[in-house]
Amino acid sequence: MRASRPAVLAAILLVAEGLALGAVSIIELVQLGTGNVASGPSGIGLIVLTLLVAAGLVLFALGVLRRVSWARSGAIVFQVLAVALGISSLTLQPIPWPFTLAVGIPGAVCLVLLILASAADGRSDRRMQRED
């Protein structure tokens, strides 16, 4: 069966988030190369973790398209963290609005899409159908 429209839209958003994190890791790598970091090993660790998360988001996108529940649940966890990060950035002074909006809004939209995709997949799953 084909993926639902919310699943396709969520997968597109997950890939975009993964690509954005890939770009962040390139920026981190450039900063590391210029010596603009407090600790080299910490900088390398941050780059590796950022790349792992980026790859994870892309893999979650593929899983969402394949209607795999672990991919939806993992992606939901990441989106909840993104929304929490966006909300917590509101406590900083001055408020970093570009960051807040760039992290919080896609996280909230993707979270809603993933929940809608989960509901659509549940309705179309033959194993969930009641037989009277």
Q: pLDDT by residue (tens digit) across 2-18?
A: 888 999 999 999 999 99
Contact indicator for 1, 67 with CB cutoff of 8 Å: yes
Q: pLDDT by residue (tens digit) across 17-60?
A: 999 999 999 998 998 888 877 777 888 898 999 999 999 999 99
Supply the pLDDT for residue 125: 61
Q: If we measure between CA atoms, which residue out of 81, 70, 68, 67 comes closest to residue 111? A: 81
pTM score over 0.75: yes
How many Å apart are CA 121 and CA 132, to the nearest integer?
Answer: 21
Q: pLDDT by residue (tens digit) across 61-96?
A: 999 999 988 999 999 999 999 999 999 999 999 999
